[in-house]
C-alpha cells in the first residue's frame, strides 16, 4: 500500500486502512496543499473526514499519515513537530475554516518525516505506522463532488 515510504513498528500496532479507522486508532496527518507550498500537520480519528472539512484541494499522493492506537504518542508527536518547526509556520492566501495554526512551509516536509522515527524512539512500547500516498482515503471524483456541493451552498448563502 505504501508508494514510497512505509515505516512500521508493528509489534504492538498492526497497520490498518485509514479510510475505515478502527476504534481507538488515531492519526497524525501531514497533508500537502495542491495550490500552495504548504503542509498541514494535525491529528484526527478520521483523516478522510478531517480533510473534507477544510474545503481546499490537497495533493494526497504527496501527503503522509502516521497511525497509532496510542493517543498520547500521536498528541506528543504533533506537539513536538509543531514546536520543532515553529519557525516554518505560514499563513495561507485563503485561511482555512479551522486549523490555521498547524500550517508549515512545504519545503520542510522531508525534515518533518525524518524526525518521526526519532520522536517515536522516545515511546519504545508504542506501535505505529507511517506511510506516504494517502489517495485511498477517497476518490478524487468524490472530492470534486464535495467542492461542487460546497460552492453551491456558498452561492445560495450569498444569493449569487
**21 domain residue, yes or no:** yes
Which stretch of DSSP H or E encloses residue 66? strand 58-68
pLDDT digits (tens, 9 = 90+) for 32-90: 998 889 999 999 988 888 888 887 788 999 999 999 989 899 999 999 999 999 999 99
Q: Is 144 part of any domain?
A: yes
**In-domain check, residue 78:** yes
* 1 in any annotated domain: no
69 inside domain: yes
Spell out the residues 6+ positions from residue 26 whose beta carbon is closer than 8 angstroms to its own.
43, 44, 45, 67, 68, 69, 70, 71, 74
Mean pLDDT of 109-133: 92
Q: Tell me if 70 is assigned to some domain.
A: yes
Q: How many domains does the chain have?
A: 1
How far, in Å, are 25, 132, 138 from residue 3 at the CA level? 22, 6, 16
Q: State which residues form the domain around 10.
A: 6-158
* Radius of gyration, alpha carbons of the chain: 16
Nearest-angstrom CA–CA distance, 123 and 130: 15
Q: pLDDT of 90-111, one tens digit each? A: 988 877 777 778 999 999 999 9
pTM of the model: 0.74
Amino acid at each position: 500500500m505504501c508508494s514510497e515510504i512505509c515505516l512500521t513498528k508493528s509489534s504492538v500496532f498492526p497497520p490498518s486502512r485509514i479510510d475505515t479507522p478502527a476504534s481507538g486508532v488515531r492519526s497524525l496527518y501531514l497533508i500537502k496543499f495542491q495550490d500552495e507550498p504548504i503542509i498541514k500537520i494535525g491529528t484526527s480519528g478520521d483523516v478522510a473526514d478531517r480533510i473534507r472539512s477544510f474545503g481546499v484541494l490537497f495533493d494526497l499522493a504527496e501527503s503522509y499519515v502516521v497511525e497509532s492506537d496510542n493517543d498520547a504518542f500521536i498528541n506528543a508527536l504533533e506537539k513536538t513537530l509543531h514546536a520543532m518547526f515553529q519557525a516554518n509556520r505560514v499563513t495561507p492566501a485563503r485561511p482555512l475554516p479551522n486549523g490555521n495554526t498547524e500550517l508549515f512551509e512545504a519545503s520542510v516536509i522531508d525534515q518533518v518525516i525524518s524526525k518521526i522515527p526519532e520522536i517515536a524512539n522516545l515511546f519504545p512500547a508504542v506501535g505505529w505506522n507511517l506511510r506516504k500516498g494517502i489517495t485511498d482515503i477517497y476518490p478524487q471524483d468524490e472530492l470534486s463532488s464535495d467542492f461542487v456541493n460546497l460552492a453551491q451552498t456558498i452561492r445560495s448563502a450569498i444569493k449569487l
